[in-house]
Amino acid sequence: MVRTIVLPGGPPVLSNCPFIAVTRVTMTDETQSAGALAGVKVIDLTRVLGGPYCAQMLGDHGAEIIKVEPPQGDEVRDWGPPFHEGDASYFTGINRNKRSMALDLSKQEAKDVLFRLLEGADVLMENYKPGSLEKWGLGYEEVLSKRFPKLVHCRISGFGGDGPYGGFPGYDGIIQAMVGHFSINGEPETGGVRIGIPMVDIGTGLFSSNAILMALLERERSGKGQYIDMTLYDCGLALMHPHVPNYFLSGKTPGLTGNQHPNISPYDKYQTKTCEVFVAGGNDRAWRRLASEIGRPELADDERFSSNAGRLENRDALRAELAAVFSEVDGDALCDRLLAAGLPIGPVRDMAEVMNHPHTAHRKMRVKQDWYEMAGIPIKFSRTPGSIRRLPPKFAEHAREILKEHGFSDDDIAALAADGALVEERRKG
């Protein structure tokens, strides 16, 4: 199987990948809509959040994503309510632009199908427990790297396959606790709390997408694929900025600061007459302008507040001064005025307010197709914009069409289904 990638401008070039012919042509509207990753094929064995989030991002920008689910299906299909036709919102939010099939990889016939899929693939993603693929005869070093030397294999796990926690299961909240997120998130009066979004899973998905793209870029020079070892633990720890450098430079263990920032002041939430607002001083220049705009220019000249270091040292006194000012004003009007003046301030909004705001619509961050209504695509390319080409798939919805595209006959498919290697109805338990 040979596929063509269209790249902008210049003469034709050769790809290092035996499965991809790369041609450079002038971009047109038709090629533009295909996305920046058109021609890249990803076999996605991941489930839950980090891997599917990564795969959706690649799919949004044109990569072909074949989602291969286990016989029980991706378990987040059940993580509701709310549901749409049996699939939870947790699933539909991170699985667009994919096709779905399901294989029982404990069976040799299913492994043979996977090998057929990989013959034309650029990337294999999976988040099985370390050692699972090796147990099934699908290990990277022993099998995949030799059979598919240009394949990029990205594994996402909780802690990796070795070390003190090697092989242990990892979940977002557990990793948040273990890498310090709880220790810096929350109010001193109430104690540490979990960050309200699955930041470790999402962050791991973002890191993994970067890693995959870097590996594909390097492959264009070396002609070789490679194994990528991604863990929730590593990614969760890497997100702990500025607390890691603060710890090493100060020798002090960071603690809870609530809404305030450990390195900047003012940086906090305040109640106004109409709403809560969040204010960021940013730097000394912005602080002086803020003080002037709120009618308290003398605060900028107060020796306690004239520098960021002073404002940090006297943050309680500064907060009292600002709270008194903000409590007497219309928060929405204040935010509009200060934002127009170039100062960092914003109203605290709930989900309904955010999704119905005109700027959300203007940035195309609320999208709707048929029943599907979701956040839009955050990466905005000038020539090769992403798009929503497929709605989240039902379990094994595309199994037979995918198999036929890869050379399986109707009789072959019937035999795979009869044997249980191809799974078309979710198994319980």
User: For residue 87, what is the enclosing H or E element?
Assistant: strand 87-88
Separation between Cα atoms, residue 94 and residue 59, nearest integer Å: 11
Q: Are 152 and 216 in contact (CB under 8 A)?
A: yes
**Alpha-carbon distances, residue 10 vs 26, 27, 201, 382, 392 (angstroms):** 8, 11, 39, 19, 37
| Buried-state track 365-376, b at ≥16 Cβ within 10 A, e below 16 | bbeeeeeeebeb
| Buried-state track 302-333, b at ≥16 Cβ within 10 A, e below 16 | beebeebebbbebbeebbebbeebbeebebee
Separation between Cα atoms, residue 50 and residue 228, nearest integer Å: 14
Q: Are 402 and 100 in contact (CB under 8 A)?
A: no
* Catalytic residue from among 87, 201, 410, 419: 201
Separation between Cα atoms, residue 165 and residue 282, nearest integer Å: 39
Active site residue 234: no
Residue with tokens 């404990």: 106
**Alpha-carbon distances, residue 380 vs 295, 358, 384, 387 (angstroms):** 39, 18, 8, 10
- Looking at residue 171, the DSSP 8-state letter turns out to be -
Bridge-based pairing of strands 99-102 and 186-187 is: unpaired
244's CB contacts (< 8 A; 6+ apart) are 237
The SS3 of residue 32 is helix
**Which of 303, 298, 358, 296 has its CA nearest to residue 328?**
296
> Using alpha carbons only, what angle is made at residue 171 by residues 144 and 235, rounded to the nearest 5 degrees?
65
How many CA within 13 A on the CB side of residue 87? Answer: 19
Catalytic residues: 201
